[in-house]
Amino acid sequence: MSELGIVVYTPHDGFVVVQHDSGFAVVELLDDETGIGCGDTLHTRSWETLGTDTLYRGDVAYEAGFWSSYDRLQDAQEKALRFVCHLLGIAMTTTSAELAN
């Protein structure tokens, strides 16, 4: 069985926030140059998964790291930004309140 989700936020290449039936998942795309972006429909076994698993855009499979799932978009956006800032080695100055505007 497969669960659908739609990409609603892409703070940096390789990270996306996906809206699904029970919330928002923060996902790291482990395949380079996937071309996945906002508005793309994806599916996977479960958006609540933690760790590495496969997700699909159409019939194309991608390896992904499932980091966390949240009830609120703002929380997922902030977590995704924190991952990206850590990856790039920069300080995060944006808060979830600023993301809401």
Tens of pLDDT, residue by residue over 21-62, are 999 999 999 976 678 989 999 999 999 989 999 999 999 999
What's this model's pTM, rounded to 2 decimal places?
0.83
Give me the pLDDT at residue 86, please: 79
Checking if the pLDDT of 96 tops 90, the result is no
Cα torsion 62, 99, 68, 45: sign: negative
Alpha-carbon dihedral sign for residues 101, 94, 87, 47: negative
Residue bearing tokens 């029970």: 22
Least confidently predicted of 5-9, 28-32, 94-98 = 94-98
